[in-house]
Amino acid sequence: MNIGQAASQSGLSAKMIRYYESIGLLKPAHRTDSGYRLYGADDLHTLAFIKRSRDLGFSLGEVGKLLTLWQDRQRASADVKALARQHVEELNQKIRELGQLRDTLQDLVEHCQGDHRPDCPILKELAAGGCCEKS
């Protein structure tokens, strides 16, 4: 199938497929005499693997490692688990950080009168930037 068909079936854009090929996540496609890319069932399976990994928030580097592990039938599942566990820890950290951001913003929203007056604690906090005192 051509790249448009592969994109349609994989749920990825043709641009992303070309990009994944350019960075080595996807092996170079077979080419027709006129230079068009051709993809087979194995390529679609790899694209589905990449898409699902990205959907789960793995970085491109992590996806590369996962692909290597997936294609290595001699690998230990402990290697895969360690990579996934590390990713879970990173997600948990991001969740904590987002929770703190939400709580800070919620506090600012609650302290803003939201009326016709110009005084606004939200803008004051943003202007302060948390880094320095204005003299």
Which of the four pLDDT bands, split at 50, 70 and 90, describes residue 58? very high
Which residues, other chains included, contact 75 with Cβ-Cβ below 8 Å and sequence gap of 6+? 69
Orientation of helix 77-111 relative to helix 60-71, angle to 10°:
160
CATH of 1-58, one of 3.20.20.70, 3.30.70.260, 3.30.365.10, 1.10.1660.10: 1.10.1660.10
Query: With 90 as the cut, is the pLDDT of residue 10 above it?
Result: yes
pLDDT, residue 130, reads 61
Is this model's pTM higher than 0.85 or not? Answer: no
Query: With 90 as the cut, is the pLDDT of residue 113 above it?
Result: no
Query: With 80 as the cut, is the pLDDT of residue 133 above it?
Result: no
Query: With 70 as the cut, is the pLDDT of residue 131 above it?
Result: no
Check if the beta carbon of residue 2 is closer than 8 Å to that of residue 38: yes
Sorted by where each begins, the domain ranges of the chain are 1-58, 76-135
DSSP 34-78: T--EE--HHHHHHHHHHHHHHHTT--HHHHHHHHHHHH-TT--HH
